[in-house]
């Protein structure tokens, strides 16, 4: 049988095998599930020595918060980071893909990656999928030509800006930036402004929440401040707690399987003899 | 009606002290009709790695078969078992490959990694990973499970399974029948026949409990 049933590792890219079946299900009135989105506030700004990126940490699945502390600032290169808003799987996959492409490029050229390279790779990938890969990104980094900050929209258009916000909380954060941003901020001022903008998104937008992540990139150095601010601690914890006495739930059968130690065979020094 | 509610499912995994626990319900339904009460949703990949698949049952079984196959290939090539973090990446990649025609499954992965450190993770149907340090839930009863876990979870529980079972006892209504509506009034005795399977895995042994609730 040449049409192999064997599932070999694919050559890469998307596979559309199940599309026809899914279309049939939709026509029968069965709706596809909602994907995990990062209704988000992501920001970036250029300061005196480099770029500061900020993001909130809430991931939502419809109206439910499924992850209270997710990471939205993704690594692209040692000198380039990218914040992602939109469908979580898309932002993760697209940034991972570009990150590996850039690593290969660095091996080929022997040089530090440029932000514009990452930008072009991302925008051409997103454009070729015509917006169906729903990833809105804020890309920032410092390379040989200086600090750069770009925004990338799901359809593939880009902007180059001194300060940028994206996501559902972008208006709340942009309000803070527009009133308080100025050229030539110091590192402390920049971090404070970014935190204020993200907090504005956290408190005023329902899709954003939990903590503030900040990433500071300067020439030759980067600092990823995970959970730099935690303005939403869990305030009420039941003092008594919940105890579950054994036997509360009737156990019908129990099967205990001891796990075997895997024995390692170390080859002796003697060569095999015939 | 959503495709996820066609068969119905509830899955939970929790981290305890040097152990993890993963539990699921065992009902298989076709919308409102219960077809089976012993349907397996949690599968063993290797001694220290389990995956639970919620959502459409046919996709769950197919996905499990593909993943088990890939793991067996890995074992042949690398002569060792896959670490849970690696396996989570594999599942994520396989699900994202079908980004525009996805499997209608939400996996919950639980395993013991390096130094027997417990690892749990869940994903949406296209592979967006969510790594958690405390608990993960999936399935049609996920909203209720989130609430129950948030309030009852304590770190470092020696037998986190009991929390799982207690939570299930509470959430009987959500596990039987249509998942967004209360129990059907005409068959209140059905729930006694519902079973739940839970695995609790420590570095030296693994225990499977079938419990009633």
Reported as a single tens digit per residue, the pLDDT across A51-62 is: 999 999 998 887
Give contacts of B 38-97 with A, CB under 8 A: 47-48, 55, 66, 69-70, 92, 95-97
CATH number for the domain spanning A181: value is 3.60.20.10
Give B3-210's CATH code, choosing from 3.60.20.10, 1.20.58.480, 2.60.40.420, 3.30.750.24.
3.60.20.10
Q: Do B210 and A253 touch (CB under 8 A)?
A: yes
Closest approach of B185 to chain A, Cα-based (Å): 24
Domain ranges of chain B: 3-210
pLDDT at site A237: 74
Q: Do A249 and B3 touch (CB under 8 A)?
A: no
Closest approach of A29 to chain B, Cα-based (Å): 7
In a domain, A142, yes or no: yes
pLDDT at site B176: 33
Q: Do A249 and B152 touch (CB under 8 A)?
A: no
Rounded Cα gap, residues B80 and A30, in angstroms: 41
* Chain B hits for A7, Cβ within 8 Å: 66, 69-70
pLDDT at site B190: 30
The two tokens of residue A5 are: 């049933």
* Sites in chain B below the pLDDT cut of 70: 1, 157-213
* Strand-strand pairing, B129-132 and A146-152: unpaired
* Chain A hits for B69, Cβ within 8 Å: 7
Q: Do B97 and A15 touch (CB under 8 A)?
A: yes
User: CA B198, B200, B201 angle in degrees (round to 5)?
Assistant: 140
Of A148, A226, A162, nearest to A193 by C-alpha is A162
pLDDT at site B182: 22
Question: How many other CB atoms are found less than 10 A from the CB of residue A94?
Answer: 25
Domain of A164, in residue numbers: 41-229
User: Which of helix, strand or coil describes residue A159?
Assistant: strand
pLDDT at site A96: 95
Q: Looking at per-residue confidence, does A132 or B194 come out higher?
A: A132
Cβ atoms of residues A129 and A86 within 8 Å: no
ipTM for the predicted complex comes to 0.82
Of B156, B125, B122, B176, nearest to B15 by C-alpha is B156
Beta bridge partners of A163: A45
Cβ atoms of residues A129 and A14 within 8 Å: no
Beta strands in A41-110 (DSSP E): 42-46, 50-55, 59-61, 64-67, 73-77, 80-87
Beta strands in chain A (DSSP E): 37-38, 42-46, 50-55, 59-61, 64-67, 73-77, 80-87, 135-143, 146-152, 158-160, 163-166, 212-218, 221-229, 251-258
- Is B124 within 8 Å of chain A by CB? yes
Quickly list H helices, A153-262: 170-180, 187-204
pLDDT tens sequence across A12-30: 778 888 888 888 888 887 7
Active-site residue, selected from the candidate residues A38, A40, A60, A158 = A40
* Chain B hits for A61, Cβ within 8 Å: 124, 142
Beta bridge partners of B199: B22, B208
How many structural domains does chain A have?
1
Q: Do B3 and A33 touch (CB under 8 A)?
A: yes
């Amino acid at each position: 049988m040449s049409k192999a049933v064997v599932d070999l590792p694919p050559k890469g890219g998307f596979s559309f095998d199940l599309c026809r079946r899914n279309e049939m299900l939709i026509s029968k009135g069965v709706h596809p599930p909602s994907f995990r989105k990062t209704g988000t506030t992501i920001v970036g700004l250029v300061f005196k020595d480099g770029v500061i990126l900020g993001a909130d940490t809430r991931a939502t699945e419809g109206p439910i918060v499924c992850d209270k502390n997710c990471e939205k600032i993704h690594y692209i290169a040692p000198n380039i980071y990218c914040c992602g808003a939109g469908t979580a799987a898309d932002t993760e996959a697209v940034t991972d893909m570009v990150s590996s492409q850039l690593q290969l490029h660095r091996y080929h050229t022997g040089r530090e990656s440029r932000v514009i390279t990452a930008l072009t790779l991302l925008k051409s990938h997103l454009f070729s999928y015509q917006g169906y890969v729903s990833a809105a990104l804020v890309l920032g980094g410092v390379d040989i030509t200086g600090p750069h900050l770009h925004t990338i929209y799901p359809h593939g258009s880009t902007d180059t800006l001194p300060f940028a916000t994206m996501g559902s909380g972008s208006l709340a954060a942009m309000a803070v930036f527009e009133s308080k941003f100025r050229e030539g901020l110091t590192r402390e001022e920049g971090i404070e402004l970014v935190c204020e903008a993200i907090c504005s998104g956290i408190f005023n937008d329902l899709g954003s929440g939990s903590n503030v992540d900040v990433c500071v990139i300067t020439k030759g150095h980067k600092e990823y401040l995970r959970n730099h601010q935690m303005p939403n601690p869990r305030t009420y914890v039941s003092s008594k707690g919940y105890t579950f006495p054994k036997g509360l739930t009737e156990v019908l059968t129990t099967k205990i399987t001891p796990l075997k130690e895997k024995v390692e065979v170390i080859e002796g020094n003697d060569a095999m003899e015939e | 009606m959503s495709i996820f509610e066609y068969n119905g499912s509830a899955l939970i995994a929790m981290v305890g002290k040097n152990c993890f626990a993963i539990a699921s319900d065992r009902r298989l339904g076709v919308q409102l009709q219960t077809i089976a009460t012993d349907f397996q949703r949690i599968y063993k990949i290797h001694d220290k790695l389990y995956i639970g698949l919620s959502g459409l049952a046919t996709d769950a079984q197919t996905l499990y078969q593909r993943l088990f196959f890939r793991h067996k290939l890995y074992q042949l090539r690398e002569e060792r078992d896959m670490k849970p973090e690696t396996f989570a990446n594999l599942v994520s990649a396989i699900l994202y490959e079908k980004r525009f025609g996805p499997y209608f499954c939400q996996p919950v992965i639980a395993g013991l990694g390096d130094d027997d450190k417990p690892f749990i993770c869940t994903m949406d149907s296209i592979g967006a990973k969510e790594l958690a340090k405390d608990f993960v839930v999936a399935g049609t009863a996920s909203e209720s499970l989130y609430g129950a876990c948030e309030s009852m979870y304590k770190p470092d529980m020696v037998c986190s399974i009991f929390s799982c079972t207690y939570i299930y006892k509470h959430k009987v209504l959500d596990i039987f029948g249509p998942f967004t509506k209360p129990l059907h009034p005409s068959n209140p005795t059905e729930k006694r026949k519902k079973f739940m399977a839970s695995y609790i895995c420590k570095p030296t042994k693994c225990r499977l409990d079938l419990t009633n609730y």
